Amino acid sequence: MEVTAKAKYVRISPIKVRKLIGSLKGKSVQAGLEALKFMPQKGAGLVEKVIRSAVANADQVSGLDVDNLIIRNITADSGPTLKRFRARARGRGTRILKRTAHITVHLTEKSS
């Protein structure tokens, strides 16, 4: 059985989140949360929140042992981009892209 949690339209670039989640795939949930605790990036807190939401979802599903969950897959897809302009010299404007991300976590039970 698999449990999923999503955080959509998170105001962080998906590239920054992907740097963090590469080391979490395949780890147990407890090990993943411990690793995120010591990462100083903003995205670490956002990913931790989604993992905790997936664990809470697993707690609601009958027949799943929360202590034996592993992170099967975790992805950071790009969401819509907010396009803004900044005034520059000689009346010009340059584009500022404020990117958003959709973070998805899939948890499964460890096969014994």
- Domain edges within the chain: 2-109
pLDDT digits (tens, 9 = 90+) for 83-109: 999 999 999 999 999 999 999 999 998
Q: For position 110, what pLDDT does the model report?
A: 83
Q: Which residue has the tokens 């670039």?
A: 13
pLDDT per residue as tens digits for the range 33-62 = 999 999 999 999 999 999 999 999 988 886
| Two structure tokens written together for 46 | 């956002």
What is the distance between the alpha carbons of residues 35 and 107, in angstroms, rounded to a whole number? 17
112 has pLDDT over 70 = no
Residue 67: pLDDT over 70: yes
Q: What is the pLDDT of residue 42?
A: 92
CATH class of 2-109: alpha beta
